[in-house]
């Protein structure tokens, strides 16, 4: 675009030299040199965006960052412990620490810097929600609430049910009942899970098998959005201790085991073979 660099050099020498910023800029057609320099001086470089989605794992987020050609890649040669140290967190697992949101960046920004911003956003949201939490919750600290939020996130098909699902799990903890939630088992199985949760999986011990272990798993199992965190800290009151997917993205909530078993018969055993059965709503 600059046909004669000497002319440009003389122009800058005999005019007020602009404070040119480094970056990637969008230059419209038919602009003169002074207009182009004004854009460089403005610092309004091209902005890109990247969205982390609720319910995804850190493994999926890191793969998403690795495939981004606009970012400078630093994470690929770092271990999880090195990443945790770099983002300055006291936790021992990166899972659940990346807040799902849309982040804007410039070409040449690093994936590590973007990860730091996502963790900082998580800290801010979690701290605010923790301060405003309901009373008599079974959490020792905000991190346990984040673990619960990740379970609520994975169990929820219809957004309005998050507080109700959180209420079920919290009542089960208060009653010293196991959570018995499939997403934690699937997370513990890891890459061995092929999309079909079997009885063998439910009987396989991992720290995340909530059919075998009481209480919360040791870490979050996915990224939690603000609504799931709010639900974990502000659950609905009630008496329901069970729920089962109805096939339309919502759940049937039960207060007794007999009622729950009847609901399982109605919504799961007799209807799962329908072609239009779904545990989550159509987007």
Question: What is the set of domains in the chain, with CATH numbers?
Answer: 5-42 (no CATH), 48-129 (no CATH), 138-237 (no CATH), 239-283 (3.30.160.60)
pLDDT (tens digit, 9 = 90+) per residue, 213-269?
999 999 999 999 999 999 999 999 999 999 999 888 899 999 999 999 999 998 876
pLDDT (tens digit, 9 = 90+) per residue, 157-184?
899 999 999 999 999 999 999 999 999 9
Query: Lowest-pLDDT range, 29-33, 63-67, 121-125?
Result: 29-33
Other CB atoms within a 10 A radius of the CB of residue 182 amount to 16
């Amino acid at each position: 675009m600059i046909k004669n660099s000497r002319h440009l050099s003389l122009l800058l020498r005999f005019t007020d030299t602009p404070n040119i910023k480094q970056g990637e800029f969008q230059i419209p057609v038919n602009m003169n040199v002074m207009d182009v320099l004004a854009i460089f001086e403005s610092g309004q470089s091209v902005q890109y965006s990247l969205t982390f989605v609720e319910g995804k794992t850190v493994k999926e987020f890191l793969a998403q960052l690795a495939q981004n050609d606009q970012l400078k890649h630093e994470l690929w040669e770092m271990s999880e412990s090195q990443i945790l140290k770099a983002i300055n967190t006291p936790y021992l697992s990166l899972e659940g620490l990346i807040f799902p949101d849309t982040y804007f960046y410039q070409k040449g920004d690093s994936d590590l810097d973007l990860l730091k911003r996502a963790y900082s956003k998580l800290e801010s949201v979690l701290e605010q929600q923790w301060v405003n939490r309901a009373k008599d919750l079974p959490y020792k600290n905000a991190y346990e609430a984040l673990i619960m939020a990740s379970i609520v996130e994975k169990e929820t098909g219809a957004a309005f049910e998050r507080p109700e699902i959180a209420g079920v799990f919290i009542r089960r903890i208060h009653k010293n009942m196991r959570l018995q939630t499939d997403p934690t088992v699937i997370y513990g199985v890891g890459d061995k899970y092929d999309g079909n949760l079997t009885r063998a999986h439910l009987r396989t011990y991992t720290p995340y098998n909530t059919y075998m272990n009481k209480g919360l798993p040791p870490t979050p199992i996915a990224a939690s959005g603000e609504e799931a965190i709010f639900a974990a800290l502000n659950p609905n009151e009630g008496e329901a201790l069970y729920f089962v997917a109805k096939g339309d993205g919502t759940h049937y909530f039960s207060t007794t085991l007999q009622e729950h078993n009847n609901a399982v018969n109605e919504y799961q055993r007799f209807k799962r073979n329908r072609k239009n059965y779904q545990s989550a709503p159509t987007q």
